[in-house]
A and B are shown apart, each in its own frame.
Chain A
């Protein structure tokens, strides 16, 4: 490996890194794609839903060949109480053609995507950990790997090493994430016959459905998901690391409590757990985004906290940021200038894209999920909402006007009084409306 020189080295073969390597290789530059796993995807999990638009910008009609699970035509939101559930759902046939999004499994998907970058000419260097960035004063000039003679040099290093970005940290562009800027998600892939999944979720053929779960789970503020794959279900839950620190509950016990919920247990009944997994999700949002470029480097995807937690979008932000970093690298190559002055164009491109705009819109959400409020939002309010609806629907001779009053009282009490309900309402409205 010694003395190898590349135009660009990309660290991490997730959606961000692979999108960057693909873009650069297509332009004919010499690019290395380094991944620590046995193969791309080996270390990666997500919910997960893959979106069409941002990947299509890179590979037109990719869905005709990519390994995808089901086309999502229906999305549901369930507010779970102890023994009750408030449900909303939206189904639209138009989501089928052109497809809007699909469920997927990362081991298959990431391998396929990386194979596209390889076909375009990217040099795969897998089973290799980048242990540090090589620097000449402050310019990044290459990477040190855990291989023998493992130093590699390049004009630009693109850092796409995911949420545990040890490389981003080593640049000191950001301090370590705070425990409230990340969630830990644990997940199981549960197998069931294809037909059983279709019957239980009201689906045909390759149609798919997603269910987001919110509510009280083992006394933790958790956000869960249950997604349909071809012949498996993806069931998981994310809890804020700061919350995990404080409550003495094991992450997989939170998952167990969801599995026992009457609405969930019958959907997964008879299934076999094929895989257990866990991963962090960056949830700091807009205000946690670090500087995106410097002399000889750019940073993308999860490593730069580019996740829109409200819409559970991450892979698409990763793909777009990787593509934009790739395009900036190509422009820098043509100019022969790899300094911050040129690479800062990546920052400008991100600012002009949906990545920046969407994260900015929801910048208030992170503080909304701060300790006190998150308990209200995920625990007390859902519980009271369900109770209020139960009371409204129960025909027991109590006049509807009295019922409505009682319902309002329930919600007010859950929020901690009128003012707090108002404050939470305004804060929530602002957080969602930017």
Chain B
């Protein structure tokens, strides 16, 4: 009964804004971050480091707005605000 993260995220209704509410402040900080824990701790796999492009991509439209990255990025390199009112996730059960 285990599911992929894509299948899991598919169960949530999203209304994505065209602008990200999550911003990597400085990609150089990611470059020098040894463990890149954001690639692991995010429950909806928003963050991914790209070796070739030397940057962290932000799939903000998958964000479930939990706030983990806000506190767990060791360099506080993620600017975190809420999506605009009415945007983002809407749970059906909760």
CB-based contact B84/A129 at 8 Å: yes
**Given A129-B84, A166-B81, A245-B41, A268 contacting B90 (CB threshold 8 A):** no
Q: A42-B90, A146-B84, A248-B35 are in contact. List 9 more A-B contacts (CB 8 A).
A: A36-B85, A38-B15, A127-B85, A163-B67, A184-B41, A232-B93, A244-B40, A251-B42, A271-B1
User: Whole-angstrom distance between the alpha carbons of A110 and B8 in the complex?
Assistant: 23
Given known A-B contacts A278-B44, A280-B67, A43 and B89 have beta carbons under 8 A apart = yes
A277 and B66 CA atoms in complex are apart in Å by 9
Q: Is the CB of A275 within 8 A of B66?
A: no
Other-chain contact of A273, B8, B44, B67, B86 (Cβ < 8 Å) = B8
Is A6 positioned at the interface, with any CB of B under 8 Å from its CB? Answer: no
Complex CA gap A178/B86 in Å reads 29
- The list of the 7 closest CB pairs from A to B, nearest first, reads A106-B94, A127-B86, A276-B8, A107-B94, A164-B67, A278-B43, A244-B41
List residues of A (184-234) whose CB comes within 8 Å of B's CBs.
Answer: 184, 186, 188-190, 232
- A275–B85 contact, CB under 8 A? no
**Size class of B's contact patch?**
35 or more
Best-surrounded residue of A105, A189, A278 (most CB of chain B within 10 A):
A278
A195 to B61, CA, bound (A): 38
Contact B93 A105 (CB under 8 A): yes
Cβ distance A425 to chain B, nearest Cβ, rounded Å: 32
Q: Is A274's CB under 8 angstroms from B1's CB?
A: no
Q: Which B residues lie within 8 Å of A107 (CB)? A: 91-94
With a cutoff of 8 Å between Cβ atoms, the chain B residues found around residue A54 in the complex are none
- On chain B, the residues within 8 Å of A190 by CB distance are 1
* Chain A residue with the shortest CB-CB distance to B44: A278
Report the tally of A-B residue pairs with Cβ distances under 8 A. 147
Report B86 CB to chain A, min CB distance, Å: 3
Q: A45 and B91: CB pair below 8 A? A: yes
CB–CB B93/A189 < 8 A: yes
Alpha-carbon distance A256/B3, docked complex (angstroms): 8
Q: Scan B50-94; emit 1 where CB is below 8 A from any A CB, else 0.
A: 000000000000001111101110101000111111101111111
Contact of B40 among A42, A46, A232, A250 (CB under 8 A): A250
Please name all residues of chain B whose beta carbon is closer than 8 Å to the beta carbon of A182 when the two chains form the complex: 67, 71
Which residues on the A side are within 8 Å of B7 (C-beta)? Answer: 273
Q: Which of B2-60 contact A (CB under 8 A)?
A: 2-3, 5, 7-9, 11-12, 15, 35, 37, 40-45
- How many chain A residues touch the partner (CB < 8 A)? 62
* A41 with B94, Cβ < 8 A, contacts A176-B71, A276-B12, A278-B66 known: yes
Q: Are B82 and A36 in contact (CB under 8 A)?
A: yes
- Hey, which chain A residues are within 8 Å of B40, CB to CB? 244, 247-250
Q: Given that A43-B65, A277-B64 are known contacts, is A252 also in contact with B8, CB under 8 Å in the complex? A: yes
The reply to whether B2 and A241 form a contact with Cβ atoms under 8 Å apart is no
Q: Which residue of B lies closest to A131 (CB)?
A: B81
Q: Does A259 contact B (CB under 8 A)?
A: yes
A276 partner, pick from B9, B68, B82, beta carbons under 8 A:
B9
Question: Given contacts A184-B43, A273-B8, A278-B66, is CB(A42)–CB(B91) below 8 Å?
Answer: yes
Bound: A239/B84 CA distance, A: 28
A396 CB to closest chain B CB, in angstroms? 36
Contact A38 B2 (CB under 8 A): no
Nearest B residue to A186 via CB reads B43
**Does A279 count as interface, using CB distance less than 8 angstroms?**
yes
Bound Cα distance A329, B11 (Å): 41
- What are some 22 contacts across the A-B interface (CB < 8 A)? A36-B86, A42-B89, A44-B91, A46-B94, A105-B94, A106-B91, A107-B93, A128-B85, A128-B86, A182-B71, A184-B66, A188-B8, A189-B93, A190-B1, A241-B71, A250-B40, A250-B45, A273-B1, A274-B93, A275-B92, A278-B44, A278-B68
| Nearest-Cβ distance from residue A294 to partner chain B, whole angstroms | 23
Cβ-neighbour of B41 out of A46, A131, A241, A275 (below 8 A): A241
Contacts of A186 in B (CB 8 A): 43
A279 touches B66 (CB 8 A): yes
- Do A145 and B85 touch across chains, with their CB atoms under 8 A apart? yes
Contact indicator B64/A278 (Cβ below 8 Å): yes
Which residues of B sit under 8 angstroms from A163, Cβ to Cβ?
Answer: 67
